[in-house]
Structure 1
């Protein structure tokens, strides 16, 4: 199977262009997917990720820009001529054909023998746990089984690019976890290039080499899962990525007597030694009156000497405790990796280390620093 490089340059998608209800679904999207790479398009409903996938597949026309696959312009080609395999969220199986015939249909134009086709279909069915429904028709199987059959029909093809639109959205969590590992191994073992559309962060993190975070048609950040969490490019990415979400506070910046202080609402002051921050960051912060601070719940420490917070909720999830508390005129969430016995109304001490702070520009949302150094 072939590896292929995908390039999107200044791609726009405008629905009802010039009309009263014009929708600018994708805005000047630039993105390059390397051969053999798995990329996830991640975002909330209406962010433009599905429109992007459909433009690559050829089911939507790009309003502006170009799409190249392995150096070949494909944005003006019919879907069948793009050498792209796609698994739809809506299954799109052929009703008159059995599941076996649906999956094998993708190999109809190949030079494989009937025996070879049967072997490949069997292997795909085994990987996707649908061996027991191969001889049934789509109307007689569950939505999850139909979705796996659709996924199998796409993955079995010899294509230059594989597009997976919410490919496991109908599956129960246990099966999804099992298949994520199998599907990633299948794609990586064969060096395939794939793009996954999902709203599920766990799925994106588990499957993708890089994740493209989108919002309002704009690519917010295109990076590895680790960098999206540890070095978000802006406040949107910082708060969108991560579960529980990042804690965020507006703060006034003050520097004097070798200390750097962030004044939060409710009289809370975070006080640090200047040397905990790089010189370049200190110079940048000296020009700011207000910033937005972010800290991940897993990085919040509880200690008696910390700033006071009042517990409002305590949830034990079986392997960790999520504690919500009133803090700095708002709320803060912390994660403890043990059963923490704090009761509602109890006062706890919150410590936010300088190495765990993310600082964002309050006006633009752009990241200023992560962990004491410039972003």
Structure 2
């Protein structure tokens, strides 16, 4: 049976007077289970770092409560919360060596020096900073400082580990290597961790669940698979996924035998009624404006498909990304084989109804995903 490690209830964050200042986080509620890795994902200014800082105690909560391990902590000083944090800005102690910085987190534990040395050596090897343990922060690179800060956080026996863009300064190859190692380290020890990132790959690789935020509002909190396959709204659907989801404004017509969508430029997508469940057809009936979405990897080329004109054809080493002019907008499709198409060529496009996501045109809320209601 899962146990709630962190509970955030109706938390608001205002910078300035309540109800008149900048409303950075808006009525945020979420429960995180012990042993989970959670990613707060969103663009700059979405509220993810403010949320992390409130959990850590570096920012006061304007309204609401934060409980850790069953005790309310939002009024406690950071030192009394038993939270370990790796900052984007490193925050190493300049007079201490890298070894001393990492070991400093264990000072209060009163472990024998041999045990401290063993733990520091293990974390240093994990993060590939063994060769700089004797150096000072001012003499190492930004990426090395970031790994030292991460090591100082991971080595702690804390109730919660907060990781703020922990690998933002690292080159892609090293990031890919460390993601797997860090996830294994956290899972092996049953730690609970929250990761703040704007990197979708990092969120998908590390997190058990992802909290997508925008404008201070939690848009969706679910597994990476569910967010990709069943986005709660248009924002989540288009924000998560690379290349991004293709979207088109459309009108809807339903009958006993057919469902059709009218797109810009006179493009019409016609389907048999049986391609959609009765519940989806009922939800679509009577709607005037919707937004259709489809992932690029779900778009198919067929000889009898709707015509589209190739604008750009890119081979990325293991995939072909083809951008086409379609229904007054750009539609991107992904193919795993190298496809030789020149700009200006016409191709036939098939949008499989099972892969269609339909969103309300006004609110952006998801209506259906393939055969299922949202």
Stretches (4+) displaced over 4 A: none
**1:12 partnered with 2:7:** no
Pairwise mapping of residues 84-233 of structure 1 onto structure 2 (< 5 A)? 84-233=83-232
Would the aligned equivalents of 2:86 and 2:162 in 1 still touch at CA under 8 Å?
yes
8 Å CA contact 2:4–2:31 kept in 1: the answer is: no
Over aligned residue pairs, what C-alpha RMSD do you find? 1.1
| Distance in structure 2 (CA, Å) of the matches to 1:209 and 1:19 | 34
TM-score (norm 2): 0.98
Q: Which residue of 1 aligns with 2:22?
A: 23
| Structure 1 counterpart SS, 2:109 | coil
Counterpart for residue 358 of structure 1: 357
Deviations 1:105-137 (A, max 9, x none): 000111310000000000000000000000000
2:286 corresponds to which residue? 287
For the Cα contact (< 8 Å) 2:18–2:62, is it kept in 1? no
SS at match of 1:120: helix
Partner of 2:334: 335
Task: Provide the C-alpha distance between the structure 2 equivalents of 1:73 and 1:373, rounded to a whole number of angstroms.
Answer: 40
What SS does the corresponding residue of 1:5 show, helix, strand or coil? strand
**Within the alignment, does 1:33 sit opposite 2:32 as a pair?**
yes
How far has the Cα of 1:373 moved from its partner?
A: 1.7
TM-score w.r.t. the length of structure 1 is 0.98
Please state whether the residue corresponding to 2:337 is helix, strand or coil.
coil
Q: Could you report, residue by residue, the CA deviation over 1:21-48 in whole angstroms, capped at 9, with x for unpaired residues?
A: x210000000100000000000000000
Following superposition, the deviation at residue 278 of structure 1 comes to 0.7
Structure 1 residue 19: deviation in Å?
Answer: 9.0
Contact conserved, 2:8 with 2:28, CA < 8 A, in 1? yes
**Kept in 2: contact 1:4–1:193 (CA 8 A):** no
CA contact (8 A) 1:98 1:135 kept: yes
1:257 Cα deviation after fit: 5.5
Once the 2 structures are TM-superposed, how far is the Cα of residue 4 of structure 1 from its aligned partner? 6.4
- In the alignment, the residues of structure 2 paired with residue 91 and residue 203 of structure 1 have an alpha-carbon distance, to the nearest angstrom, of 19
Measured in 2, the distance between the counterparts of 1:23 and 1:169 equals 27
Q: For residue 287 of structure 1, report the CA deviation from its aligned partner.
A: 2.3
Matches within 5 A, 1:37-76: 37-76=36-75
Q: Distance in 1 between matches of 2:256 and 2:19?
A: 60
Gaps in structure 1 of 5+ consecutive residues: none
